[in-house]
């Protein structure tokens, strides 16, 4: 899609930042893929660990998501913080 602001892909994992949402696809087998969509207005916090391996996203409803995003953790963090 042309409105993707940031994209990180590796085998079995894809994370895309759009102007209004964060979309994470996990899984290799198409029928078993898990797609998580988080609207940016529902994100209450974004954190990266000290080693910049994991990125955590907290939502307004109390959920916390954590993904391995190395080596692009810093770029992803900056892209999300720029939109919030």
Could you tell me which CATH number the domain at 6-83 has?
A: 2.30.29.30
Q: Does pLDDT of 30 surpass 90?
A: no
Residue whose pair of structure tokens reads 């000290």 in the numeric block? 50
Digit-coded pLDDT (tens) for 45-81: 999 999 999 999 999 999 999 999 999 999 999 999 9
DSSP state letters, 19-49: SSEEEEEE-SSGGG-EEEEEEGGGEEEEEE-
Calculate Rg over the CA atoms of the chain.
Answer: 12
pLDDT score recorded for residue 2: 61
What is the domain partition of the chain in residue ranges? 6-83
Helix and strand numbers (H, E) in the chain are: 1, 7
């Amino acid at each position: 899609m042309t409105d993707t602001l940031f994209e990180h892909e590796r085998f079995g994992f894809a994370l895309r930042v759009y102007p209004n949402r964060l979309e994470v696809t996990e899984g290799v087998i198409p029928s078993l893929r898990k797609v998580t969509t988080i609207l940016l207005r529902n994100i209450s916090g974004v954190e990266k660990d000290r080693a910049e391996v994991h990125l955590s996203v907290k939502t307004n409803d109390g959920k916390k998501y954590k993904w391995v995003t190395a080596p692009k953790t810093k770029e992803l963090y900056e892209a999300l913080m720029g939109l919030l």
